[in-house]
Structure formats: structure tokens, C-alpha cells
Amino acid sequence: DAGVTQSPTHLIKTRGQQVTLRCSPISGHKSVSWYQQVLGQGPQFIFQYYEKEERGRGNFPDRFSARQFPNYSSELNVNALLLGDSALYLCASSPTAVYGYTFGSGTRLTVV
Amino acid sequence: GESVGLHLPTLSVQEGDNSIINCAYSNSASDYFIWYKQESGKGPQFIIDIRSNMDKRQGQRVTVLLNKTVKHLSLQIAATQPGDSAVYFCAGPYNNNDMRFGAGTRLTVKP
């Protein structure tokens, strides 16, 4: 079985641009969560979606948004990119909304 | 706010020795904790979890101990191997919607 897949693996954007990151959960998993991991730190929670509804939002500005599709895949959008948005963005899926998270390998975003 | 944190940012051990990585948490209501291993260029990988109604749980070469009195948990790795070199995170649920991660401990295994 495929694990959590994220695309792209790397990308470089310019300040002020917008970016869309994609995540496909493990088959049968209905929950997708997004995390930001800045170099040298632990992952920070951004969003959780379960059954296509937002279940939780971390302390991130409104420039960050996400959605979950009927097939449970998800997109994370970040508008008006700042240098400080440079990070590894991780997607995790779970069969429930609480436990059993499996992480993907992440998308490395560099803002220049 | 509620937090989960690790005691030491780095730990260096000799191959074959046992490793102990510590973590403290502040939320007394936390009922579930997970240890993750993250290798360079990869996402966090589940190692072992423990629920608050347990004091100890063992896996293959790993043991997690939970001390609710002092709000502390530890990950013990037996007979540490070079492949165990990674960053280790403890994590606990917050608001049932997200996992709070500590800053991580980088384990280096010396041959």
C-alpha cells in the first residue's frame, strides 16, 4: 500500500507569490492534517480536516488555507509568501480524527 | 500554553549502548503520547505510543515510560544501532485536533 504522498517534493517561490501543496492520504484514511516544520524545530500544527470538514486550525495567519476533496486528498494554499514561510510542510493522515497519524515525506518550500 | 518539550537537544551514544531520550509535558489531561523518529529528508515516523492509563509499553528494542506524577515520559532504545541515528520527537494531542511536538533530540550513534 502506498503511504502518504505529497507533491511537489521541493519548490522555490518568490516573496509575494502563492503556492499550493498537495497531499494524498493512505487509502481508507479520512483525516488529513498539515504541519509546518522550520529547520531545527518540531512540526507545528496548521490544519486538520476530517470527512472534508475543517476540524482544527493552528496559530497561523489567514494567508494559510486548506481544503479536503471527496476522495480525501487535500491541498494547502499559502498566499503572499514571506521569507519566513520557508519550511518543510508535512501532511499526515489518520483513519480517525484523533489518533494514528502517518506522515508523508513533506514538501520543502523555499521562499526567496 | 500547553506544551510538550524535550530535555536535551542532542544525545551521543556508543553503538550497542542503551539510549534514553526524555520528554516533559504540561497538560495533565493529556491521555496519549507518541514518539516519532525523523531521519534527514523524511517525515516523522511512528515508533511507539502510550496511553495515560499505562506506565510502560514495550516494542521491538524500544520502551516508553510514562510518569504522570511528574508529567514526564522517556523513550529507551536498547542496543542502539547506527540506523537509530535521527531526531526523536515526543508528541501529545492538544484539543483533539492536533499533535503538539517537542523540539526534538538528535541522537547520534558512534561506531
- Nearest-CA neighbor of B78 among B12, B10, B20, B39? B20
Looking at the structure, give the CATH architecture of the domain made up of residues A5-111: Sandwich (2.60)
Q: Would you call A105 and B41 a contact, using CB atoms and an 8 Å cutoff?
A: yes
- Under the banding of pLDDT at 50, 70 and 90, the label for residue B103 is confident
> Which CA distances in Å does A41 have to A60, B58, B99?
16, 27, 14
> Residue ranges per domain, chain A?
5-111
pLDDT of residue A64: 98
Which residues of chain B does A33 touch, with a Cβ-Cβ cutoff of 8 Å?
98-99
Closest alpha carbon within chain A to B49? A100
Q: Smallest Cβ distance to B104: which of A4, A42, A92? A: A42
Q: What is the pLDDT of residues B27-48, one digit of tens each?
A: 777 788 999 999 998 999 999 9
Mean pLDDT by 10 residues, chain A (112 residues): 91 98 95 94 93 92 97 97 98 82 95 98
Q: Would you call B89 and A97 a contact, using CB atoms and an 8 Å cutoff?
A: no
pLDDT of residue A75: 98
Q: Smallest Cβ distance to B44: which of A44, A56, A103? A: A103
C-alpha cell at B95: 484539543
CATH number of domain containing B32: 2.60.40.10
Residue B26 belongs to domain spanning: 4-110
Q: Would you call A101 and B45 a contact, using CB atoms and an 8 Å cutoff?
A: no
Q: What is the pLDDT of residues B68-96, one digit of tens each?
A: 999 999 999 999 999 999 999 999 887 76
| Strands of the sheet with A5-7, listed across from one edge | A5-7, A19-24, A74-78, A64-68
Which residues of chain A does B36 touch, with a Cβ-Cβ cutoff of 8 Å?
103
- Under the banding of pLDDT at 50, 70 and 90, the label for residue B3 is low
C-alpha cell at B6: 524535550
Question: B69: Cβ–Cβ under 8 A, 6 or more apart, which residues?
Answer: none
Q: Smallest Cβ distance to A98: which of B44, B89, B96? A: B96
